[in-house]
Amino acid sequence: MTMDYLKVIPEYTIAFPVANMPQINLGDKIGSLVVDRMSQLSGVMDKDIYVIASKIVSKAEGRYVDLTTIKPSQEAHRIYGIIKKKSPALFQVILNESLSYKVNKFSVLSQHRLGYVLTSAGVDSIDDTTAIVLPQDPDQSAQHIASEVEKESGKKVAVIISDSEGRTDRRGANAVAVGIAGINPVRISSSVDLSGSVKVNEETICDMLAGQAALLMGQRGRNIPVVCIRGYQFDFDYKARATDMIHKDLLGIKMFNNG
Amino acid sequence: MTMDYLKVIPEYTIAFPVANMPQINLGDKIGSLVVDRMSQLSGVMDKDIYVIASKIVSKAEGRYVDLTTIKPSQEAHRIYGIIKKKSPALFQVILNESLSYKVNKFSVLSQHRLGYVLTSAGVDSIDDTTAIVLPQDPDQSAQHIASEVEKESGKKVAVIISDSEGRTDRRGANAVAVGIAGINPVRISSSVDLSGSVKVNEETICDMLAGQAALLMGQRGRNIPVVCIRGYQFDFDYKARATDMIHKDLLGIKMFNNG
């Protein structure tokens, strides 16, 4: 693709795959691997945003569950009776990761223990006997990866850990952020309408960034678990946590009635 | 921003604002305006995807509602008693746009007459006495705009009409697609897992594209209602409609119990 046209465009964001990442194993340093792969592209730049699929973070942190060791509860069996597509043991893992949940005929819509609403509580099956769950503390994981990148590259970056997630009304999944480092997940702005009323707008930019990355990550097996987003204007925020975007009226409240 | 680094990146998507769009009035040809503004940037290119805020499409199509002519029903008054933030007349407009709905203390979660789940059925207030509703047929609007762009530029493009939309668990809004031309809203792929099972993945790419654009559209008053996304690899699909992404088990079914 030629890029001469970019010379006349005053503002843009660009997203590209951090290609050729290896398969991730327990203990792998994802930040180091990102810096290594980026050195084959343009190198890390200040204010790069690295969106990282939660799956590889979970793998590096060993967040596997051996399904043969799980004893499904009556409730897990009941859910299996409704949905079938997963095993009772896998449903039990989903319940274990959930603060509250509701069941429909397609899926378990879970309020994950961290507060996020996620289909199946972000639990994936790796094979018939192994599940993988979200990182224990995705914000901390993101901060750890950002620190590695910064230490090895000398550049200041933001990190977003993303998970694929659909909407109940729609076929197919989008992606959402579950962990964050260096960037506030919410953008707040205000404007004045034609009546003179001030309207405050909040936008979940971390989910927009996760979606932009997911467009390139694409399907499993394509081996693109990391995408770099460059050009988005933001101020570093080192206090921000992904849980900051949980609706404040819902924090600590069970959203669903477990049924 | 320098773009020399792009020379070493084999694959990327770029998003940029189609800046300096004028205020849109009834009858304005949005496609023509896009071609005009793009001529000041790089010109329209084949396979450009133009993401367009539904608000300006509604304005061009005159989708205003004079709230002083609306007689709120008992149900609209009841909802006003719960939520307050909007007027009973505005709640009535929301109900009129809804196939089904449910009310919580923050908002009306509506199944829009076209099938999409949208907060407040995509209805916005323009000022104290005027509301604006989604285009009558957003797919048709998108096709119309795409045709204008193609006719005036000689290039083949896709168009996505987007609306801002939040998730119940999160502060702030993301964006979703409500109308489409030339691109299938869902990407389908398959992969084989470690057990040898084939997994089929569906991804709502139109929502990912809408989110990517929303990052640049930003808040009201910034006057960026159109964003160009370039570089995303897709095959033109002229039969695709945004309603193709409604979950097939939900098509034609009232999702909520109106209460």
Mean pLDDT by 10 residues, chain B (259 residues): 77 93 95 96 96 97 97 97 93 97 91 92 92 97 98 98 89 94 93 77 94 86 89 95 82 85
Alpha carbon distances (Å) from B77 to A21, A87, B70, B74, B127: 57, 47, 12, 5, 20
* Residue A75, in any domain of the structure: yes
Confirm whether A218 is domain-assigned: yes
Q: How far is A17 from chain B (nearest CA, A)?
A: 7
Structurally, chain A folds into a number of domains equal to: 2
Assess if residue B112 is contained within a domain: yes
> For residues B220 and B160, is the Cβ–Cβ distance under 8 A?
no
pLDDT, tens only, A5-16: 888 888 899 999
Q: Which of B131, B147, B167 is the last residue of a domain?
A: B131
- pLDDT recorded at residue B223: 82
Asked if A229 and B211 touch (Cβ cutoff 8 Å), the reply is no
Least Cα distance to A187 among A216, A207, A170 occurs for: A207
B213 and B159 fall within a common domain: yes
What sign has the CA pseudo-torsion B24, B25, B31, B36? negative
**DSSP per position, chain B:** ---GGGGG-S--EEEEE---PPPP-TT--HHHHHHHHHHTTT---TT-EEEEEHHHHHHHTT-EEEGGG----HHHHHHHHHH-SS-HHHHHHHHHTEEEEEE-SS-EEEEETTS-EEEGGG-EEEETTEEE---SSHHHHHHHHHHHHHHHH----EEEEEEEEE-TTBSSEEEEEEEEESS-S-EEEEEE-TTS-EEEEEE-HHHHHHHHHHHHH-STTS---EEEEE-------SS--GGGGB-GGGTTS--S---
Work out the average pLDDT over A218-235: 87
The answer on pLDDT for A219 being more than 90 is: no
Closest C-alpha among B190, B173, B145, B187 to residue B49: B145
Residue at A227 is within a domain: yes
Q: Residue A43 above 90 pLDDT?
A: yes
Instruction: Output the domain CATH number for residue B100.
Output: 3.90.1660.10
- Indicate whether B41 and B146 sit together in one domain: yes
Same domain assignment for residues B123 and B235: no
Residues A197 and A158 in one domain: yes
The reply to whether A83 touches chain B by the CB within 8 Å rule is no
Alpha-carbon span B16 to B207, nearest angstrom: 17
Q: Does B190 touch chain A (CB under 8 A)?
A: yes
Look at residues B78, B100, B131 and tell me which one is the last residue of a structural domain. Answer: B131
Residue of B41, B205, B247 with shortest CB distance to A9: B41
Q: Using CB atoms, pick whichever of A8, A127, A232 lies closest to residue B193.
A: A127
Q: The domain spanning residue B152 has which CATH number?
A: 3.30.1330.100
pLDDT confidence of residue B145: 98
A254 within a domain of the structure (yes/no): no
Any domain includes A109 = yes
**For residue A157, what are the CA distances in angstroms to A31, A208, B130?**
11, 17, 44
**pLDDT tier, A90 (very low <50, low <70, confident <90, very high otherwise):** very high
pLDDT of residue A137: 96
CB neighbour burial string for A127-151, b if at least 16 within 10 angstroms, e if fewer: eebbbbbbbeebbebbbbbbebbbe
The closest CB to that of A195, out of B40, B116, B127, belongs to B127
Among A125, A189, A211, whose Cβ lies nearest the Cβ of B212? A211
Flag whether pLDDT at A253 surpasses 80: yes
Which residue among B86, B108, B131 closes a domain?
Answer: B131
- Say which residue the tokens 């699909």 belong to: B237
Residues B188 and B209 in one domain: yes
Q: How far apart are CA A210 and CA A224, in angstroms?
A: 13
Instruction: For residue range A113-151, list pLDDT tens digits in order.
Output: 998 899 999 999 988 899 999 999 999 999 999 999 999
Which structural domain, as residue segments, surrounds residue B199?
12-63+137-243
In a domain, B84, yes or no: yes
Does A145 lie in the same domain as A57?
yes
Q: What are phi and psi of B17, to 5 degrees?
A: -70, 140
- The answer to whether residues A102 and A188 belong to one domain is no
**What is the pLDDT, as a whole number, of residue A56?**
96
B162 contact A CB<8A: no
Instruction: For chain A, give the mean pLDDT.
Output: 92
Q: Residue B36 in contact with residue B68, Cβ under 8 Å?
A: no
- Are A119 and A109 contacting, i.e. CB atoms less than 8 angstroms apart? yes
Q: Are residues B145 and B58 in the same domain?
A: yes
- How far is B51 from B212, CA to CA, in rounded Å? 9
CA separation, residue A16 to residues A51, A151, B85, B163 (Å): 10, 22, 42, 25
CA–CA separation, B97 and B81 (whole Å): 20
Beta bridge partners of residue B216, listed in sequence order: none
Tell whether A2 is covered by a domain. Answer: no
| Domain identity same for B169 and B214 | yes
* pLDDT top residue among A218 and B157: B157
Residues B213, B202 share a domain: yes
- Residue A17 has phi, psi (to 5 degrees) of -70, 140
Residues A101 and A177 in one domain: no
Compute, in degrees rounded to 10, the torsion defined by CA atoms B108, B218, B134, B165. Answer: -30
Does B220 contact A at CB distance below 8 Å?
A: yes
Position A201 scores a pLDDT of 86
Q: Do B208 and A209 touch (CB under 8 A)?
A: no
Stretch 130-159 of chain B: residues touching chain A, C-beta under 8 Å: none
A236 and A174, same domain (yes or no): yes
